[in-house]
């Protein structure tokens, strides 16, 4: 019983401070309400979204991350059009974590008929709901002038794994904005080897922007795309080390014996994470031909790399 009494006292204190004349006191009250559960705390936070002070509204939007329900989504959607930028961004961030299928119609409407910021935030909130009804709004988003909206539309399509969207995905792979092309590579993660979109994903490994190349390598690894092997081997000499790491991971997943030389040479890299990924890939390939690279690298200065090299050597020796 004392625990509940303390809880009630805390809530009453927060209720008083949430109505204080000082905006700073109200803001702290909103922040502390994140630690409270139950309908009363939720009501106070939703009321905080309409506070005269933008810092209080932003704090309320962030604290609603701990509360669920359609009324929370509706309140956050309304805050996407707040006059203050910080409030809008706080609401968008919190909304992205909500998974409320009952609010799908509201989110789809906002994704289609409002300003770019609202559209992008609504699409981001729809993404993990994987609702087929959201596909039309996502496809429409790909024709939007705003790259933010196009990018979030691609996120919805990627989660839906919508085959019927493949022509649109292929088209966005040549978008003028690199963040949109990168999102396209991520959305193509459901393509089948040899199927539509596979050549588009392979082409992404040669994109002018390194983050697009990196994302293409990530997707190629996830779906184990064999037709990407030649380009992934070429990516082992990419000027950006992050791309080389993702290429090594993909080649390991593909068990590409033709990549042994490229991966073996990477064991001399100054970048320990690249050496780790290359050693791991050679272990996945598990071909005796890799021993000529692995055995001389057994004294690598990084203990994690040495551990992976020992594991890879064991795998390769088993194949003898």
Supply the pLDDT for residue 38: 84
- pLDDT at 89 exceeding the cut of 70: yes
Q: Which domain holds residue 152?
A: 99-188
Supply the pLDDT for residue 197: 94
Supply the pLDDT for residue 47: 96
Supply the pLDDT for residue 7: 46
Supply the pLDDT for residue 3: 45
Which of 139, 155, 188 represents a domain boundary (last residue)? 188
Asked if residue 91 and residue 9 are part of one domain, the reply reads yes
Domain count, the chain: 2
CA dihedral 246, 160, 198, 233 (to 10 degrees): 0
Position 145 in a domain: yes
- pLDDT at 28 exceeding the cut of 50: yes
SS in 3 state form for 57-73? Answer: HHHHHHHHHHCCCHHHH
Q: Mean of the pLDDT values across residues 183-194?
A: 95
Position 151 in a domain: yes
Q: Check: CB of residue 312 under 8 Å from CB of residue 290.
A: yes
Residue 182: give its domain's CATH number. 1.25.10.10
Asked if residue 123 and residue 154 are part of one domain, the reply reads yes
Q: Residue 300, SS3? A: coil
Which of 128, 158, 188 represents a domain boundary (last residue)? 188
Position 220 in a domain: no
- pLDDT at 5 exceeding the cut of 50: no
Asked if residue 79 and residue 34 are part of one domain, the reply reads yes
- Residue 202: HSE in the Cβ half-sphere, 13 Å Cα cutoff: 18
Asked if residue 115 and residue 80 are part of one domain, the reply reads no
CA pair distance 152, 142, nearest whole angstrom: 9
């Amino acid at each position: 019983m004392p625990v509940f009494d303390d809880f009630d006292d805390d809530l009453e204190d927060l209720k008083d401070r949430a109505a204080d004349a000082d905006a700073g006191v109200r803001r702290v009250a909103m922040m502390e309400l994140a630690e409270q559960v139950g309908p009363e705390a939720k009501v106070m936070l939703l009321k905080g979204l309409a506070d005269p002070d933008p810092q209080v509204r932003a704090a309320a939007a962030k604290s609603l991350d701990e509360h669920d329900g359609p009324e929370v989504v509706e309140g956050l959607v309304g805050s996407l059009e707040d006059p203050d930028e910080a409030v809008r961004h706080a609401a968008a961030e919190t909304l992205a974590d909500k998974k409320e299928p009952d609010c799908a119609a509201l989110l789809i409407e906002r994704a289609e008929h409002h300003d770019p910021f609202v559209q992008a935030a609504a699409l981001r909130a729809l993404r993990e709901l994987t609702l087929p009804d959201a596909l039309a709004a996502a496809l429409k988003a790909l024709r939007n002038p705003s790259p933010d909206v196009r990018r979030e539309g691609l996120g919805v399509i990627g989660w839906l794994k919508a085959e019927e969207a493949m022509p649109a995905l292929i088209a966005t792979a040549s978008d003028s904005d690199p963040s949109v092309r990168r999102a396209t590579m991520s959305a193509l993660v459901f393509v089948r080897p040899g199927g539509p979109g596979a050549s588009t994903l392979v082409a992404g490994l040669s994109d002018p922007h390194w983050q697009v190349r990196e994302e293409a390598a990530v997707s190629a690894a996830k779906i184990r795309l064999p037709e990407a092997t030649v380009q992934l081997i070429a990516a082992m000499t990419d000027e950006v080390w992050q791309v080389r790491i993702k290429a090594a991971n993909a080649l390991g997943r593909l068990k590409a014996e033709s990549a042994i030389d490229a991966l073996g040479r990477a064991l001399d890299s100054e970048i320990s994470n690249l050496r780790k990924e290359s050693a791991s890939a050679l272990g996945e390939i598990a071909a005796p031909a890799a021993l000529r690279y692995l055995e001389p690298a057994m004294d690598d200065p990084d203990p994690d790399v040495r551990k992976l090299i020992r594991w890879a050597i064991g795998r390769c020796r088993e194949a003898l």
